[in-house]
Structure 1
Amino acid sequence: MNRSFILSTGSYLPKKTLNNDEIALTVETSDEWIRQRTGITQRHIADEGELTSDLAVNAAKNAIEKAQISVDEIDLIIIATTTPDKTLPSCATIVQNKLKCKNAFSFDVQAACSGFVYAITVADSLIKSNSRIKYALVIGAEIMSRVVDWKDRSTCVLFGDGAGAMVIKSAAQSNEITENSMKGIISANLYSDGNVDVLCTNGGISSTGDSGKIHMNGREVFKHAVDKLTASVEETLECNNLKITDIDWLVPHQANIRIIEAVVKKLNLPMEKVINTVDRHANTSAASIPLAFDYAIQKSKVKPGSLGLLIAIGAGLTWGSVLLRY
């Protein structure tokens, strides 16, 4: 069976940062309060004229340059986002236009914070079923700062903006992977349960005519996140006849350090194997995993031949995991 593997990664963060002390000037909070409860110290905020597609294009260019391919070689573009430029057309087609990727087909995936796990799974599935796809560009891009209520202390401290990208290559059309090599995406598990009330916005196109602002039941989200992410990892390990000790690294959704620590504790996985960027990026929703993964590669925390997991949970509730050898 044809497989796919990560050829390159890229990322982009807006230049503007907003630290906890600056937030404390507008809402009743403090740097200590935010750090203790979330692990976050700062977040990046898009400029007024920056669009989600702009962030995505910058991350994509970074990944394409590292892949040493031309935009004309890209056959598929998938963007995971909750904050697209427009209701239509898709953010992916806008990015396709800006990159001048004439030979690709493109679409968006909306699974909130789980979006990138969903998107990379869809890309892998399409590569396996469509022999004409050699290169897929998968991007997670968000401007969450525009859907938070900056007067709501419980949510505004959590989110930031950014974009991460991966170029995924078909193993069948590569000389870099032998037939017996395990490099690539090995398996994926996706889930949702229709629990739409614990994390949502209070608006939408067909209900209020606007995007609305984020509302969250923090305690419920925490409980579901820990239980569901742990179960997802355990099922992935069981299906692949692996033990947690076989895992070299874990890239979790960067929502909250307390959630990450609780999941890792239940899995009995050492924290040194966990990629953590929540302190500097905050929760960038669908962009958090590709941003963290690119950071981990830059810092040599994810090395060629190593085995790891991507895991995420988001509104819906949606969640899932991807097992891969880098």
Structure 2
Amino acid sequence: MAQSLARAGRFDEAIACWRQLEELDPFSAEPARMIAALTLKKTRQTDREDADDSTEDSRSTPANDGVPPENVSAPAQLESPSMAEAPRPLRTLVLTRRQQLEQEIANRPHEESNYLELAELHLAERRTYDAQRVLMRAREVSRDVRILERLEDVNMLRAKEQVKLAEERAATERTKESRDEVERLRQESYRLELDVFRNRCHRCPDDKRLKFQLGLRLQQIGSYREAIEPLQAGLEFPDLRAAASLEIGEILQRHQQFPKALQCYRQAAQMAAGDEGQLDCRKRALYRAGVLAAAMTLNDTARGYFTELAKMAPDYRDVRTRLDKLGEISDTS
């Protein structure tokens, strides 16, 4: 049908058909190639029609019906064929960068850089579904690891977007079914991230930054004991050290190793100090240290952590309430 519409010059309808086919079969390169080709044909036809209109206008200029030129009035002379407006030149065909890349992919389907650039254009416009389809098409023709890892990134991003949409629906509907759907999608997102980082660590077994990321995903799904060893890999990097110490502290606290956990929180707060990029990590470490110290009845220590946190962020969670409670304990002791 799309081809029949194209032959009839109904390019918009033909392009719409090919877009539907593209959605049904995102792995096929044919729809993208035809969309790019039809866009070119449509633009060229529009240019020809504009040129034909200009020529017709020049031919339809009123004649003088045999009246000698000297008897022709001034307006008639201005409308004579010799003085008619010249045909307008054809417009220069200008494609958007996205259309150019689609055409390049259709012409050279094995050129990986075109797929990557097109995917980035889609991502810049928050069109994650289109970016995902482009990278899936690229995987059909290339084993380039850059494409694989970018597709993994986009898949994780898409999963997070679906969780966010489900959370928004749940906030509106306020039903058990909608809350269950949020949890289901969240767990799917966690499992996807875990699989991605397991595979990346398998491809690059010596990359300790990837090991740290794997540790975060293991912790995310509740595999705490398994997470400790890869999380420790983050201690070797200055920019990850504070976060790694904080996460290890939380796992140690879960296993009731309270003194070691408190030490990890203290170290995390110290290592994050003075770095604006790790401000959130420092606040979280101070809060966790204060809560744990209070539970261990180390009230002066807890008060110190909460006081330092309150100076940085007075409205952080319930830090003011906790300080007030510690003050009451001090007054009655």
TM value normalised by structure 1: 0.22
By percentage of residues, which structure has more helix?
Answer: 2
Q: Which has the larger Rg?
A: 2
By percentage of residues, which structure has more strand?
Answer: 1
Higher relative contact order (CA 8 A, sep 6+): 1
